[in-house]
Amino acid sequence: MNKLRRLSFALLLAIVLASLGADFLAPAGYATQFRETPNSPPTRAHLLGTDALGRDRLARTLYGTRVSLLLAPAAALLSTLLAGMIGGFAGYVGGAWQKASMAFTDLFLSLPWLFLLITVRALLPLNVSPTASVMVTFALLGILGWAASARVVCAGAAGMRDSEFVLLARASGIGRARLLFIHILPNLKPVLLAQFWLSIPIFILAEANLGILGLGVAEPLPSWGSLLRELEDLATFSGEFWKLVPLALLVVVVTSFQFLISHNEVSA
Amino acid sequence: MLITVLVGAFLTATLIRLAPGFDADVQQLDSRLSHETVEAWRAERAQNSNIVRFYFRYLGAALHGDFGQSQTLNRPVRQLIAERLPVTARLVGWGVLLGWTLALVLAFSVSLIRWVGFRWIAVVCAGALLCIPSAVLALAFVILRAPAFLAIALVVFPKIFSITRSFLEKSYELPHIVTARAKGISELRVLLWHVLPVSGGQLIALAGVSVSLALGASIPVEALCGIAGLGQLAWQAALGRDLPLLVTLTVVVTVVTLAANMTSDIVNESLKPRAA
């Protein structure tokens, strides 16, 4: 592990731990309003100041980080599982099934990702509870984000279908299901793992885009997307750098993920 | 391509039809409206409730150039698309052009200037831009009052730069290029005569992908910068659950994306050396 990867890992770990310790580090909570001090600059009581509704910015940033950092990997896991099932099965079976599956995948890929995401997200109810909106947003990212990964997995499975060890296993009379689950899928693990890691920063950025456009996590629950909506007011920005902390955290986390995805994993 | 477009449009229509609250319209709650007006609206919405009937009626009318009436903007969809398509085409066109120019100039400079510091600066700049959501870039350009196509360019640039740099690095490892450099051929000549012909095909294939990338970025950019283009229209249509408008937009976006990919494939094929 080189120095940059170590530093990225340490930064990510520190941010994850800070977000998990939000209850201790920012006991005010993300929804508590301090109505006498709205839009306050950083003070001892509020280290990052308060927002327009008088809520503690540090608490909202930490809880928002927790939401994004816990659910983006969950969405990545869902999309990787879908990619593994669709792409892996298509590559393993081959023939008409592979062609049909890849045509369906191409259909998904022919539409810009954000266009598809916004269209489908807007069709789902927007006036749901904050918890439900978190689930809907990240589930959607997982359900719609499988196509690119499925292509890679399909290519990997198709390559394995004609490999010598699979031919030998077939010649030994191993059943198709056993061949798929015991021999092919474990060998696709590096590809699936790479797709999982690659998806996390993509989903974090997608949630941020949705949040800024008002289609992400519902108030009062914070996420990086909803926290970044505050930047809309920066037309009156006058050196209030503490307002940029969520953006800085997002950039640090996404950059750390990019460094952590090693060249070997990506090319696997 | 035609099948992809038709299936894509049908899937979009089905999704919108199945969305919760499809038949509801806030306007129906307006107490100033007469009972007849509300009933007329309901009847109009009910016409679209059978998705198969809606889709085939839509296709039949589309063949005659009629894409229906926007339910939210109350204007013909064809007119809306015709008004806004040139705006988005200009925005995306300039954005893609500038993004590509920046990416190629920087990637070639990194290849030619063998100074590690310069390479690091280029990689860090591109990497930092990759980590910023396109909506944040759009907001930054609103605050800076800078042209919006620059935001599109900054979305396209880092991806093209990273991939181009990777292609070039792989090309530089090829035996004939290593030999050419060992023989003392100038770096510029190696790049133009030996490296570019090898990685040119892959770069042309990227052109189609960059159009799709820019179209996706045009949604937050147009929505946040207040530009009346297709991205903003898609945004309004999605929020208003405007079935005819969303289906037509899906068709337009799919056609543009597929056409861009097909064009880059055709150009790529035509540039491939043929066996005598």
> So where are chain A's domains?
3-11+55-267
pLDDT at B230 over 80: yes
Q: Tell me the Cα Rg of chain A.
A: 22
A73, A256, A261, B16, B153 from A198: Cα distances, Å: 10, 12, 7, 30, 23
B128–A115 C-beta distance less than 8 A = no
pLDDT of residue A267: 45
Q: CA dihedral in degrees (B69, B72, B74, B80; nearest 10)? A: -70
Chain A residues inside the 8 Å CB shell of B216: 112-115
% of chain B with per-residue pLDDT over 70: 84
Distance between B251 CA and the closest CA of chain A, angstroms: 10
Looking at residues A87-96, what average pLDDT do you find? 86
Percent of chain A with pLDDT over 70: 93
Residues 236-275 of B with CB under 8 A from A: 238-239, 241, 246, 250, 253-254, 257-258, 261
Question: Is B134 in contact with B155 (CB distance < 8 Å)?
Answer: yes
Class of A3-11+55-267 per CATH? Answer: mainly alpha
Tens of pLDDT, residues B257-269: 888 888 887 887 7
Of B101, B95, B92, give the one whose Cα is nearest residue B215. Answer: B92
- Which chain A residues are Cβ-neighbours of B132 within 8 angstroms? 247, 251
Cβ–Cβ < 8 Å for B109, B117: no
Give chain B's domains with CATH numbers: 2-62 (no CATH), 84-239 (1.10.3720.10)
The 8-class DSSP code of residue A32 comes to -
How is residue A74 annotated by DSSP?
Answer: H
- Read off the pLDDT band of A126 (50, 70, 90): low
Beta-carbon separation of A113 and B216 below 8 A:
yes
pLDDT of residue B97: 95
Q: Do B139 and A234 touch (CB under 8 A)?
A: yes
Q: B224 — contact with chain A (CB < 8 Å)?
A: yes
- Given B15, B142, B217, which is nearest A123 (Cβ)? B15
**Within a 10 A sphere around the Cβ of B46, how many other Cβ atoms?**
10
Angstrom distance (rounded) from CA B271 to CA B231: 34
Note whether B27 and B72 are within 8 A (CB). no
Per-residue model confidence as pLDDT tens digits over A36-67? 888 888 888 888 888 888 899 999 999 999 98
Evaluate if residue B88 carries a pLDDT over 70.
Answer: yes
- Smallest Cβ–Cβ distance between A112 and the set B143, B235, B253 belongs to B253
Which chain B residue has its CA at the smallest distance from A100's CA? B4
- Judged against a pLDDT cut of 90, whether residue A78 lies above it is answered with yes
| H-assigned helices in chain B | 2-18, 35-47, 51-63, 77-112, 116-130, 134-143, 148-172, 175-182, 187-189, 196-225, 230-240, 243-271
More confident residue, A75 or B116: A75
Closest residue on chain B to A256 (Cα): B131
Asked if residue B87 has pLDDT above 90, the reply is yes
Quick check: B241 and A123 CB within 8 A? yes
Q: Which residue has the higher pLDDT, B67 or A234?
A: B67
- Please tell me if residue B41 touches chain A, with a CB cutoff of 8 Å: no
Q: Round to whole Å and give the CA distance between A111 and B219.
A: 13
B71 to chain A, any CB pair closer than 8 A? The answer is no
Phi and psi at B69, nearest 5°, equal -115, 135
Which of A57-61, A152-156, A203-207, B245-249 shows the lowest per-residue confidence on average (mean pLDDT)?
Answer: B245-249
Q: How far is B276 from chain A (nearest CA, A)?
A: 32
B24 touches chain A (CB under 8 A): no
> ipTM, 2 decimals?
0.80
B135 interfaces chain A, CB cutoff of 8 Å: yes
* Predicted confidence (pLDDT) at residue A120 exceeds the cutoff of 80: no
